[in-house]
Structure 1
Amino acid sequence: MNRIVLIGLVLVCVVFIVYKLKTSLGANQTQLKEKIDGGALVVDVRTTAEFQSGHFPGAINIPVDQVSKRLDEFGDKNRSIVVYCASGGRSGSAKSFLESVGFVDVINAGGLSNMPNPE
């Protein structure tokens, strides 16, 4: 009986972790497209080399380790901002930092592959 309870608890934990990971990435494709079409600043927080190898059209490159030094490039703290990287980790860090200094509408899109198809 104890083994079944333990397996059940592990499954519940796994489901919870997967749910939290999915919801921590922020917006879905439709929400991202709406924000971008509405004039959101799109920021690629990958390295310069990664950015140069391919990026979302119209995105600017501010590597995550430079975000705190380049805050003026983000503009008004009420402006919508979409950040992305390769998988969502660095953009998650950038989102948290930006929110900690007062930016109010920052979305972690996750990785470049999560960005909506440009039309």
Structure 2
Amino acid sequence: MNIFSNVRRKSLQEYINEARGREGSIFLDVRTPEEYRDGHVEGSLNLPLHELKKIETLIPDKTSPVYVYCLSGARSKRSAALMGHMGYTDVTDMGGLLGQNVGLVK
């Protein structure tokens, strides 16, 4: 049994509210441009996972609070880990949009 199985993960909306309450927060959508155009968190930046090596030009301040999301949570988890290895110190994996009731913009 996983000892963390009873740990409640925040909903995407809770992460959005948290980020909006923190000055300098950045939403990072790591889905494809096509997925992003179908709907995304308002104000988010789009940088697909396969282009993550370009993150330093998009977000040069590695202490900025960055909230990463994707569709299912797999790409955001990988992106958050990679960003940590790249020296980013305040990265939150918000998980995926699937099954979440949040207002997305096109």
Q: Is the shorter-chain TM-score for this pair beyond 0.5, marking a shared fold?
A: yes
Name the CA shift for 1:99/1:67 in 2 (closer, same or farther; >3 Å).
Answer: same
Name the CA shift for 1:110/1:62 in 2 (closer, same or farther; >3 Å).
Answer: same
1:36 aligns with 2:36: no
Structure number, greater radius of gyration: 1
Task: Count matched residues.
Answer: 101
Runs of 4 or more consecutive aligned structure 1 residues displaced over 6 Å after TM superposition? none
Equivalent residue for 1:59, pick from 35, 38, 44: 44
Distance 1:67 1:98 in 2: 8
Tell me the CA shift for residue 44 of structure 1: 0.4
Letter in 2 for 1:105: D
Distance 1:64 1:115 in 2: 23
Tell me the CA shift for residue 31 of structure 1: 4.7
Q: Which residue of 2 aligns with 1:105?
A: 90
Query: Runs of 5+ in structure 1 lacking a partner?
Result: 1-11
**TM-score normalised by the chain length of structure 2:** 0.78
Name the CA shift for 1:30/1:100 in 2 (closer, same or farther; >3 Å).
Answer: same
Distance 2:101 2:85 in 1: 24
Distance 2:102 2:84 in 1: 23
**TM-score normalised by the chain length of structure 1:** 0.71
1:91 aligns with 2:71: no
Tell me the CA shift for residue 37 of structure 1: 2.9
Q: What CA RMSD, in Å, does the superposition of the two structures yield over aligned residues? A: 2.6
Name the CA shift for 1:41/1:17 in 2 (closer, same or farther; >3 Å).
Answer: same
1:78 aligns with 2:63: yes
More helix by share: 1
Query: Runs of 5+ in structure 2 lacking a partner?
Result: none
Name the CA shift for 1:103/1:63 in 2 (closer, same or farther; >3 Å).
Answer: same
Distance 2:3 2:34 in 1: 32
